[in-house]
Structure 1
Amino acid sequence: MTSKSHWKLLALALVLVVVMVWYSISREDRYIEFFYFPVSEKKEPCFQGEAERQASKIFGNHSREQPIFLQLKDYFWVKTPSAYELPFGTKGSEDLLLRVLAITSYSIPESIQSLECRRCVVVGNGHRLKNSSLGGVINKYDVVIRLNNAPVAGYEGDVGSKTTIRLFYPESAHFDPKIENNPDTLLVLVAFKAMDFHWIETILSDKKRVRKGFWKQPPLIWDVNPKQIRILNPFFMEIAADKLLSLPIQQPRKIKQPTTGLLAITLALHLCDLVHIAGFGYPDAYNKKQTIHYYEQITLKSMAGSGHNVSQEAVAIKRMLEMGAVKNLTYF
């Protein structure tokens, strides 16, 4: 082989390697674009009512009249009728719900209510937060919303230490509220089924625990102050499913529903004036080895059969980013 031919083969091999690397990177997040804005030490200006205006573009006839948390008076005195069953309404679960609302609270803390402009960040559980060094930035927001059992202890440098609101459901309650939360953190139950109300009632009232009716055994002992528990209004699950994912609300037995993360963004657009997100996005479906969370070694395979359509949710979040309804601290 001549020297010239040898160099041609080497050049061809190099081109092939470059193409393969580019293809791999481009497929890394098949449904995900790099929507990102540089993190600044200065606070971004907050304009009162801005998130509400943006939300109206997404959800249509949007109003903040809907209460964020369910209240006893709406069920005990008024008997507010619900058109849908859980997770999109409370139809058929009212008796259980009444007992839970009698021992929990519904108020939004004065420290949040009194803010002229509420700056919020929804912290996802995604692997993108690992080694992000965003902890200090996250702690500066007025409201920090976290999801499920995502840990804070040991990850403060990347995810911060402040938690204003934590959304959870029984199967995701495997965390120590005293370690992973602040003393004033609101623990907000997202109810998917009637047994979720039954579980929280037995925990708070120290009744006989329930062990069946869950896809994963929830905690049997959970040291939490009932006054910090709130019940999320299923209205937010309904509009996230309907307006963001175009899911039918009246579904067959095996229903599809939004993830807790998408639900949290929907809630933030209702509660806040400025909404940022961090740690959202999944790896490409073909990437079997990439972990999906910043704190554990599980892959996208674990999402199979979860009732979530993550690619559809990625499209919904991308749309909100393009509209400027939310901004991203990590890439998406």
Structure 2
Amino acid sequence: MTRSRIFPNCWRILELFASVVIFFCITLYRNTDYYTKRASHHLPRHLCTPGEVAAKAAIIIPNFSRNHRIFLQISDYFWADNRSSYPLPYGTKGDELLFMQALALTHHFHVPPEIDRLQCRRCVVVGNGYRLKNSSLGDVIDKYDVVIRLNNGPVYNYESDVGSKTTIRIFYPESATFDLTLDNNPETLMVLVPFKSLDLKWLSSILNDEKRIEEGFWRTPPIIWNVNPENLRILNPYFMQVAAIDLLKYNLKTKELKSIPTTGIMAITFAIHFCDQVYIAGFGYPSNTTKYVHYYDNETLEQMKISQHKVPLEAIAIKKLLQQKIIHNLTYF
């Protein structure tokens, strides 16, 4: 074979090889681009700027302030200037005695020192939405300083998608069906969001080992709940108030108010006041691709319609927070 015939063949082989490499790179980019966008929070820690969220939140939330207690403490009820203007779930008015009884049993109200001393808190609020299913975000979620989980969202057997770290779990009695050991860490703070007076009575009966109250709940809460009192906190209803008035534009002076913010939008509100960077994951509702609401069960949106929540209104509020870059999304909304 002559040299003139050998070189053209070599060039053809090189061209073919180059085409294969380019095709492989494009395919790899396309396959990873979606996940890269979701994991775009992989930023050096120095890019977390103290007060970053607060400065942006102050633009859309009137009188935004971080000078509010995160968790309630019993001393709050010995000072008249701390009295609330609203009843539960937006304030403590009318239930001060029940709050005092519950707080006397929990004793603790501080933030863990390893979180409190952080110069810049990077937080993720993990929702229970179906979009977390097969997301492979577990390792990503676990890298945050503070991982906030909601209600009975399970961790055990879902670690690859939702992670295994739980700094704070926000719950109410009917949602306290999570496994205290498998779905949480030993140091996890169990933060009660009291929606009604019975929620405080339930907590006191659990801690005092008194006769349990079963009536008045939309679903029977746990009768036996072996929680460590040192890990219990009661969230300041102020954050529910901000979620309702400032984000959802509820008129709390209306006597027949039938809508209550979800734990999810309330948790985001809390994170905006507590953290310097706020990411969310697993928020959003069924689309054309799936009819299920959660990553762990088969509940549908139709079944949720009986709740006292204004889901479309909350979706608008979350989108606004995303557009203003006050919060960021790890999944999609």
- TM (norm. structure 2) is 0.85
1:311 matches 2:290: no
Distance 2:76 2:52 in 1: 29
| Structure 2 residues not aligned, in runs of 5+ | 1-33
Per-residue CA distance 1:19-43 (angstroms, 9 max, x = gap): xxxxxxxxxxxxxxx9x94414833
Letter in 2 for 1:113: D
Query: For residues 79-228 of structure 1, what are the structure 2 equivalents within 5 Å?
Result: 80-104=82-106, 105-228=108-231
The equivalent of 2:252 in structure 1 is 249
Retained in 2: the 8 A contact 1:289–1:299? no
The alpha-carbon deviation at position 248 of structure 1 amounts to 1.2
- Residue number in structure 1 paired with 2:264: 261
CA distance in 2, matches of 1:53, 1:220: 44
Cα deviation 1:268-310 (Å, max 9, x = unaligned):
00000000000000125xx696110000011001211211111
**Structure 1: 5+ residue stretches without partners:** 1-33
Residue 328 (structure 2) aligns with: 327
- The CA RMSD over aligned residues, in Å, is 1.7
CA distance in 2, matches of 1:289, 1:128: 9
- Residue aligned with 1:177, SS: coil
Gap change, CA 1:295 and 1:235, over 3 Å in 2: same
Report the residue type matching 2:254 in the other structure: Q
One-letter code aligned to 2:295: Y
Instruction: Pick from 233, 238, 256 the counterpart of residue 235 of structure 1.
Output: 238
> SS of the residue aligned with 1:145?
strand
Q: Distance in 2 between matches of 1:303 and 1:251?
A: 24
The one-letter amino acid paired with 1:39 is A
Asked if 1:73 is matched to 2:75, the reply is yes
Map of 1:43 onto structure 2: 43
- Write the letter of the residue equivalent to 1:309: K
- Give the structure with higher Rg (CA): 2
> TM-score when scaled to structure 1?
0.86
Q: How many residues align structurally?
A: 296
The Cα shift of 1:153 comes to: 0.2
Residues 37 and 327 in structure 1, CA contact (< 8 A), matched pair in contact too: no
Paired residue secondary structure (1:179): coil
1:69 aligned counterpart, secondary structure: coil
Partner of 2:8: none
Identity among equivalent pairs (%): 55
The alpha-carbon deviation at position 102 of structure 1 amounts to 0.6
Report the alpha carbon displacement of residue 103 of structure 1 after superposing the two structures with TM. Answer: 1.3
Judge which range, 257-266 or 79-88, deviates more.
79-88
Alpha-carbon shift at residue 251 of structure 1 (Å): 3.4
* Counterpart residue identity of residue 152, structure 1: V
- 1:3 alignment partner in structure 2: none
Question: Offset of 1:80 from its aligned partner?
Answer: 2.9
Aligned letter for 2:131?
Answer: R
Tell me the alpha carbon deviations over residues 250-282 of structure 1, each in whole angstroms, 9 at most, x when there is no partner: 233452111101011000000000000000001
- Which letter does structure 2 place at the counterpart of 1:127? Y
CA distance in 1, matches of 2:50, 2:214: 46
Contact preservation (8 Å) 2:130, 2:286:
no
Cα deviation code 1:57-93 (max 9, x no counterpart): 2212111101111111111355732111100111111
Q: Displacement of 1:152 after TM fit?
A: 0.1
